[in-house]
Every structure is written in structure tokens, then in C-alpha cells.
Chains A and B, each alone.
Chain A
Amino acid sequence: QVQLVESGGGLVKPGGSLRLSCAASGFTFSDYYMTWIRQAPGKGLEWVAYISNSGNTVYSADSVKGRFTISRDNAKNSLFLQMSSLRAEDTAVYYCARDQGLLPHFDCWGQGTLVAVSS
């Protein structure tokens, strides 16, 4: 079955770095655009970054631009989010999600991985 599994979350100090991974299975990963979406504790959903199926096109939210980088390895069916210069306000559960079609809405989500930024 279609599955996304995130990993790499944890506790990090302000200014630190972390790399999140998302392992995909059950579908042809290289056919799909992918995204990262986060959710701060008790808050709503916030889109973070988006990548085309080839990896040639990426977009990111202004709140993370210049600090977070989305990438993918289609040979390994994996999506990544490299996070640097982390701030307290980056504390959230980070979800990877699959874009269902030509326009970005998301039909499959991982279980999420928690990133906590605190000294």
C-alpha cells in the first residue's frame, strides 16, 4: 500500500541543523511531486516546501527560505528536508505528503516527525 514514513526529527538547539527524511513505498515515487507541511503544537497546518517529480523545480515558504532546502533521491524513493539556522518557531510536527495531481493537493501523508528547537 501507499506509505510515507518520516524520520530524523528530534531536539535541537537554536541555530542548529537537522535533516528530515521521508521514505516512500507502494507507488512510483519518481512520478509524483512531493511536499513538506508542518504543524506547530496546537496550531494549524503550514506549507513549508514543494518539489517537482524530477527535483528540478522547488518552492519554499518565505518563513523558511534560505534556511531549509527540499530535495529528493528518486533512486532511493526518498524525500529530504535539510533545515539549518533553526529557530524556536520552527518547532512542529513535519509531515511529508504526496501531491495527487497536476495542482498541489495531497492524497497521502506520513505520520509526521517532531522537531523541537529549544536551548
Chain B
Amino acid sequence: EVVMTQSPATLSVSPGERVTLSCRASQSVGSDLAWYQQKLGQAPRLLIYDASTRATGIPARFSGSGSGTEFTLIISSLQSEDFAVYYCQQYSYWPPLTFGGGTKVEIK
């Protein structure tokens, strides 16, 4: 099973700041990685797939990068609606599909 590790667990940020979230895989997953955003009480929403491709309707301030075992989600200028929990998911070696534990982005 590929273990996904996200860091940090919580990030305290002010609106307008640049945010960098990390996701590490226990073995190489190539570019088979997705990022999701989950707001409180809502279902997750796909942000990024194939490590760097924005999903339909996702603003350009969200960008993904990385390959192999190290991945990054960047929010270039945090908006109020971006406070949420972010999860990465690998789909290179499955089953099982595996998610990271999440990074909570909260208001500083």
C-alpha cells in the first residue's frame, strides 16, 4: 500500500498570503496524484489531477507540481473561500486508493 503523508497538519495563514502544501508518497507514484479541497460540512472537490492539471472551473491561483514521491499544492494568494482542508490522493498503485491525512488551512 502506498502511504501518503501530508505536511503540515495545520497551516495558519492570512488572506492574500501564498500557501504551500506538501504531500509525500512512500514510493514513486509518477504523476498519478490528485488534490482535493474540503470545506466544513461539504463533500470534497477535485482541484488538481495528474499532479499539475487544474480541474474544470478551478481558479488559476491553485497550482500543483511534483512527481515521483514529492508533490506540492500552491495557492498563490489565499482568498477567504480557500480556508478548508486539503487532501492528496494517489492513483498509481491501487487497490487500495490512498489519501493523505489532510492539511487544514485556517485563518491566522
Contacts and interface: CB of A to CB of B under 8 A. Distances in A.
Contacts of B94: 59, 104
Contacts of A50: 95, 97
B97 to A, nearest CB: 4
Contact of A100 (B43, B46, B95, B99): B46
B99 A45 contact: yes
A111 interface: yes
Given A104-B91, A107-B46, A110-B43, A47 B99 contact: yes
Contacts of A112: 43
A67 to B, nearest CB: 15
Given A103-B32, A105-B34, A47 B46 contact: no
Interface residues of B, number: 25
A105 B44 contact: no
B96 interface: yes
A95 interface: yes
23 contacts: A35-B97, A44-B99, A44-B102, A45-B102, A47-B96, A47-B99, A50-B95, A60-B95, A61-B95, A100-B46, A100-B49, A100-B55, A104-B91, A104-B94, A104-B97, A105-B46, A105-B49, A106-B34, A106-B44, A109-B43, A110-B43, A111-B42, A111-B43
Interface of B: 32, 34, 36, 38, 42-46, 49, 55-56, 87, 89, 91-92, 94-102
